[in-house]
Structure formats: structure tokens, C-alpha cells
Amino acid sequence: MDTTQKQREILPTGVRPLRYTLDLTPDIENGKFSGTVDIDLRVRETTTQIVLNAADLVITGLIRQNGQVQPVTATYDAAAGRATLAFGRPLDPGLPTLLHLAFEGSLNDTLSGFYKSEYVLPDGTKRAMATTQFEPAHARRAFPCWDEPAVKAVFRVSMTVPDRLVAVSNGRVLRETPLRDGSGRKLVEFEDTPVMSTYLLAFIAGDLECVSARTPDGVDVGVWATPGKKDQCEFALGVATRCLEYYADYFGASYQLPKMDLLAIPDFSAGAMENWGAITFRETSLLVDPVNSSQAARQRVAEVVAHEIAHQWFGNLVTMEWWNDLWLNESFATWIAAKAVDEMFPEWEVWPQFVADDMSSGLRLDGLRSSHPIDVEVAKAEEIDEIFDVISYSKGGAVLRMLENFLSEEKFRDGLRLYMSRHAYGNTRAQDLWQALAEAAADPHLAEMMRSWTRQTGYPTIDVASDPAAPEAGLCLRQSRFCYAAGHADDQQFWLVPVGLAEGGAAGRHGPAILHRLGDKSLKVPKPGGASGAGAWLHANAGRTGFYRVNYDADGWRRLIDAVRAGHGLTTEERFGLQDDAFALSLAGITPATTFLDLAAAYENEQAYAVWSGLADGLREMRLLIGREAGVSDGYGNLARELFAPLAVRIGWNRRPDDKPSDILLRSLALHEAGRYGDQAVAEEALRRFTKVADGDAGDPDVRSAIYRLAVKAGGLQGYEKLLGLYRSSTLQEEKMRLFSALAWCETEDLLQRTLEFSLTPEVRRQDAFYGFSGVAANPRGKVMAWQYLKLRWDDLRDIYRTNIGMLGYFVDAVTGGLSTPEDQADVKAFFTRHQASALSRTIDQALEQIGINVAWREKNLAQLARRFDIRS
């Protein structure tokens, strides 16, 4: 055992479970449950006690070995989530041993463990279901177990539930038997699971309806929701069946269960959870209304369904040994979900959006010195939630895309097939993956290359300039760690970087990209033959496949800006990457903010949604940094409006017969941004259409969000009250979220405060409260208010999310991200000094660092921007 593993708080290894026979009786009405579990054990060492995981449970029991039965006495370590079961006579190694435990607990309201979720039937009746969320370490809240990913076992589950309810678990239903005690209940027994980790177990009981299909391989697929929503399940059913076929072919391994259920849970903390054969989702991540769902919602559902089904292989069939390798689950599911959705819906232009969303968010967080490596050590359960972030998901997914591009699709796929076949039903470390890929690619240096990306924080900037010794024929590529905080990059860090050079000119692109492996701080390479002369350009991240930023010399930037303006051969991903890098370099103080604004103006004829989405993100962030600064905010708003208003006119409000899916997304974006920056025509049309919506004419769901937000922005108290009324009357969760998010677009402080307060009322589900805070924090009028209200309600929030610390971290990140004065930074630091939150230490460090970056940006750029806008006016 290495030093790192010794620091992990893992259970003693002298006793291990082989099989759990678990029987549960939820009392949903009274918010409690009871159960029994028989655990077949392998005893490895002589012992008079067993230490396992249990939290918020009361346990009694017996242990039997070699025909001898003795009682166990339980003592509890609440902080560690453990119970120690003591007995007088020692257990001997190698003998069949059975541990029988009875336990009781509460169906909690924290969205973790075994918990209660409430919903309303179509007739208005209020009901509740019992459901589970065990990842990362909450199975211990439902039954005593070995709650660690490496401790796999077989589970047989049964549940006693009211006759009217449907019960679902990982296995198929074996039988349902009515009880003869007059209680109106039934016993539902399920088939055995495969050998698997505890965090993948699930059991749900509630009013549920299903649509179903069978794949060509004979897998029964069901999509479940509460009554009245069967038509909203059809889209996900189609995606799920196609995903199963795609992954079975890609991995060269069939899905291992005879059925797969996907369930929409009204109260759910994550987007979804990959429980083997019983995947659970937020309603907005699974349900698509045929009439009222937007294109963005359809794409979101397809992405999440594909992500969770990918886990049935990456995560369930082959599981990480410990949470430091969480990325083996999440990065792969992120990457291959995009691949699967692109296969199913090529018209959606998935990869440009992957670059704009996943890759960009990974680069954004990993530019902080307080980020963490992809492969990050965690010692105990309370630390795990903080690594369910964009590093483990998005950076990891982007790095895998880079590796696939470097190796080739075929070699990468062959390596994954070898990894799957070699480690099925087992646990792995990253090294096992690198070994399989290296064998498939015949590349002995692959592990070394990938360790440079997974075991160190950050990523490089590649500086590109002509070679001083041969300026006409040579290039110098130099890498250094990119860091937003000036002076904090580590000069000793370097990566093994696959640098793709693309070049072109007025006639377009000049052939395929040239790939170089930069394995030191600098490398001199020949300049591509067409990269000089009038109109020529050179791009040093071909296809935006490399997880790095690029900074060019002045001539290089000028040529690329001209190519963007003229439309000369750059791909959508490359055009996105230029503005994304330019904004990041500005935020890091490497280039002035005016450089990004000059580049933004070159995109006036841009057609791609992904590129406009990136521009909008950068401009919104800059708007928040500027705030309501006199002499700057008005001029900045005018500049942004001049960019988006013509786009809104060009694309219009109404859908066209020749619209591509990305055009539909672009329409919503253009209207949002033109309205955000004060375009009068867009605001007036939004108000006109809002009147029709309020009168019952819902209209196009793809522009409805823009209508709601711009109407409340311009409509004052009257518009706010109408919007709130629509929220209260809506039954579609997607529509409720559109309406709720719009409340934060109001323009007065009293309504912004009201939105914050409303977020923590029973009218807003606990998983959605965050969006009220984040929306107000993204409004220049509300960013300080959101922080003040978070401080005021901190104790309440800590109690609400006491077992879901990751969600609490989202609040901290959202409400501090736009703060930008030294006083803000001092206040945040002082508050968290007084209110210690060790499980959020990384999040708090990142928040303080981000505020410091914001402060430095304002000090460097506000005066320059004021001069620019003064000249413009």
C-alpha cells in the first residue's frame, strides 16, 4: 500500500461482503423506513468486531459462523459514518459467515441516501415517493454496508410497499406477493444485481407510469415518470434504446442486464445518477414535452441520457478503485456521450458545442492556481463532493478528445475495448487505462504523456512567434502554465502537448493540419509553406482539439482577425477558440480588454451558434466586472448592443422552414443578448408576446425564455407578478424553470431581493433554489445583494444541504464569482474565517482567488475602457 492510500479513511479489510440480501419497508407517509439485511461475509482475519458504514441508522443484529449464533452490539461514529459491531467469540478466517442486521432510519429531506420526494397528481392530489441517491457515499444512510467503490458484492433487494405503488430497483421484478395482513401492502422481490459497488444500488417506490421498448439485443427499456407525463417519456426512450446499441458496438461488450429503467424523480440533487439498470434523473434531464420543450431541452436530455448510459460500461462494469480516479467514470461519460449524441443527431453540431461548453468551462476553472489535478487524492467521504466539478467532467472529457485525436479514432477505440474486456466487473486505476491504450496504439510513451495532463494542475499557453534565427521559414513554440492570477504560474511545469498547426489564406484552408509533440518548454518547427504572404494565417490549435490556450505575436493575431472577418477557412471550433483565448488572456492581464473587444467586432457576420455563445459568455462576464461603473457601463452596453441587435434582426423571432437546430438555439441567444443590452425593438416585441402568453397563447417554446426574461426586465412589478403567477400555475418542470430563472432579470433591488427570498420557500424545489441565487448574482444590480443574502441565510443553507455539500458549493461559487472590489474580497475572507467549512475549502479558495483576479482586471482596464468609450461617444 503506497503512502497516498494509507492516508485514505477506508474500512478495515479483514472482513468483506460477498452478497447482501436486503429487505426494506418504507413508511412514506410518516417519513421513516425499516429493514433487514443478511450479508454473506468472507472473513480474512480473526476478529471480534466488524467495522462497516452506517449513518443515521439504529442497528441490532446477530452473526452466525459454523452453526454458532451470537448477538452483536453496535457503537456509532457519526462523524465518520461508521458503526462498529462487537461480539464475544472471535470469527475464524475462511469459514462461511452470515451477518444479520435489522435497522431503522428516517426518509430524509436532503436529497441523499433514502429520501422522500413530493409531487402532485393530475387531479391535484399531493403524494410522495421514496427514492435513493447513494453516490458518492450515502448508501450508508439507507442500510449498513461497506460503502466504498472497491468493495463490490451482489445485491438481492425486496421491498414492502402499498399495493397502489410501483417499486423499481436494479434487477427485474421476480414476483409481487400481496400481504395477507389486511394492510393493503405487497412484497416486491427483485432479481440479483451483478457484482457491483454500493453507490450503484437504487430502490424507488411511488406512483409511476412507464413507456417501454425492447432493443434488438433483447434489453427491455422503460422510462418512468409520475402520472400524466407518459408522452414526455417518449423522446428519452428513443435516445436510450439507440445509445444501448451504440455503446455495445463501440465497446465490443453487450449491456450486462436484461432491463434498463430510467426514472424521472421530482426532487433530485444531481442531473442524473447511473444506478446500474435503474438510472434516476431530474425531470428536466429526462422528460421532453412534445409541444412545450425547447430545442435546448431536447439536447440536454439526449446528452444526459447518453452520459448515464455510458456509465453502465464506464463506472458500473469497470469501476474506479477509489474516488481519486472519479474522472475515469465522469470524463469518459462526458466525452463519449457527445460522440453518441453526434452519431444519433448529426444535425445538432455537437462537437462545436462541446468545445464551447465542456472544454471552455474546463479551461476556465483550471486557469485558477487553486484548481486541482484530474487525478486528485481524497482521503474521506466529506471531501468527495468537491471533486464532482468541471475538472473531473469537462476537463477530463476534453483531454480524452485530445488524446483520441492524437492516437486516431480506431486505436483509441481498440484500447478502450481492451480495457473493458480486461477489467470487467473489477476496479481500476488510471494506469490500467494507459496500459491498454498504449498497447493498442503501440506507443510506449503514452502513459508519461497522459500523466502530465492528469496528475498536475493547470494547462499550458503556447506562445507562437517566428523563429528569430529564421523568421521566414521557422516558428518557435514555447509553453508556460496559463494562470489568471499574474505572477503565480509555475515556470517549472510543462506538458507533453500535441500541437496541431493549421494554415490557410484567402482561398481557404491549405491541406490537413500538421501535428507536433511539444515535449519540452520550447520547440522550433518549420513554418508551414502557406503561412506567409498577404491574407495568410496560422492557427496553432487545429480543430480546437488541444487542451491549451494560444497567444500569437501581433502579426499572428492580426492575420487571424482578418481571417475571421473575411471567413477564410477557420473551422467553427477554431473561430470559437480565438475569442475564448482572447478573453482569457485579457482576464489574466496578458492582453488588454480592448484586444478582446476588437476581436469581437470581427465576428459581425458569424453564423455559428457555438461561436456566438462564446462571445456572449465573455461579454456577459466583462459586463459583470464593469458593473454600474460611471463612464464605462453605458458605453459598454452600447458596444454589446451594436454587436447583437443586427444578429437579432437577421434571425428574427419566428422559426423558418430552413432553420437548422443550431439556428433555433442562435435565435434564443440573439434575442436574449440584444434585450440584455437594451435594444428597444426586441424589448417591445417581448412585451407584446408576453401579453399573449399571459392570455394563454404560449407560442414557440424556443423563444419563450427570452420573452419571459425581457418582459420582467421591462415590465416592472406588474410583469414580475404575472410571471410569478405563471410559475405557480405551471405543471411542466421545464416551464417552471424558465419562469423561475426569468425572475432574476428584474431591474429593481426590491424585486431582486424578493427573488432571493422566494428561492428558499417551499414553492421552489431544493435542487432549484441555486438558480435564484445565481441569477441574481449574474445581474449587475444584484451581485452584491446575492452575497449579502447568502451570508444572512448561511446557517439555513448549511442545514438544508447538510448531506449534499457539493450543492452548497455551487451557491458559494455563483454568488462570489462576480464580486470585484478589495472590500468584497476582504468580506468573503472574513466571513469564511468566522464560519469554517472545511468540506468547502477548495471552493472558498477558488472564490477568493477569482475575486482577486476580478479586482486586478478592473484596476488594469477600467480607465482604458473609459477612454475608449469617451472617444466613441
Residue 176 among the catalytic residues: no
Judge contact between 288 and 238, C-beta under 8 A.
no
Of 135, 148, 308, 349, the active-site residue reads 308
- The neighbour count for residue 872, using CB atoms within 10 Å, is 10
Sequence-ordered list of residues with C-beta below 8 angstroms from that of 227, at least 6 positions apart, any chain:
121, 122, 207, 208, 209
Measure the CA angle with vertex 42, ends 37 and 43; round to 5°: 110
Sequence-ordered list of residues with C-beta below 8 angstroms from that of 373, at least 6 positions apart, any chain:
391, 454, 455, 456, 457
Which of 196, 206, 223, 169 minimizes the C-alpha distance to 19? Answer: 196
- DSSP readout, 229-295? -GGGGHHHHHHHHHHHHHHHHHHT---SSSEEEEEEESS-SSSEE--TTEEEEEGGGT---TTT--H
- Please give the single-letter amino acid code of residue 15: V
Query: How far apart, in whole angstroms, are the C-alpha atoms of residue 295 and residue 693?
Result: 19
Query: How far apart, in whole angstroms, are the C-alpha atoms of residue 468 and residue 473?
Result: 10
Query: How far apart, in whole angstroms, are the C-alpha atoms of residue 506 and residue 335?
Result: 34
Query: How far apart, in whole angstroms, are the C-alpha atoms of residue 816 and residue 836?
Result: 17
Q: How far is CA 232 from the centre of its chain?
A: 23
- DSSP readout, 655-674? --TT--HHHHHHHHHHHHHH
C-alpha cell at 692: 399573449
Which of 863, 828, 873 minimizes the C-alpha distance to 849? Answer: 828
819-823 CB contacts, 8 Å cutoff, 24+ apart:
819/783, 819/784, 819/787, 819/851, 819/854, 820/624, 820/625, 820/627, 820/851, 820/854, 820/855, 820/857, 820/858, 821/855, 821/858, 822/855
Query: How far apart, in whole angstroms, are the C-alpha atoms of residue 689 and residue 708?
Result: 9
Query: How far apart, in whole angstroms, are the C-alpha atoms of residue 619 and residue 125?
Result: 46
Peptide bond before 26: cis, by omega within 30 degrees of 0? Answer: no
- The neighbour count for residue 323, using CB atoms within 10 Å, is 26
* H-helix or E-strand spanning residue 569: none
Query: How far apart, in whole angstroms, are the C-alpha atoms of residue 496 and residue 546?
Result: 11
Query: Three-state DSSP class for 577?
Result: helix
* H-helix or E-strand spanning residue 140: none
Judge contact between 673 and 266, C-beta under 8 A.
no
Q: How far is CA 547 from the centre of its chain?
A: 18
- DSSP readout, 823-851? HHHHHHHHHHHHS--GGGHHHHHHHHHHH
Q: How many residues does the chain have?
A: 873
Residue 777 backbone dihedrals phi, psi, to 5 degrees: -65, -25
Burial class (CB in 10 A: 0-12, 13-18, 19+), 136: buried
Query: Three-state DSSP class for 158?
Result: strand
Judge contact between 479 and 461, C-beta under 8 A.
yes
- DSSP readout, 507-567? TEE-SS-EEEEE-SSEEEEEPPTTSSSTT-EEESSGGG-SSSEEEE-HHHHHHHHHHHHHT
Residues serving a catalytic function are 308
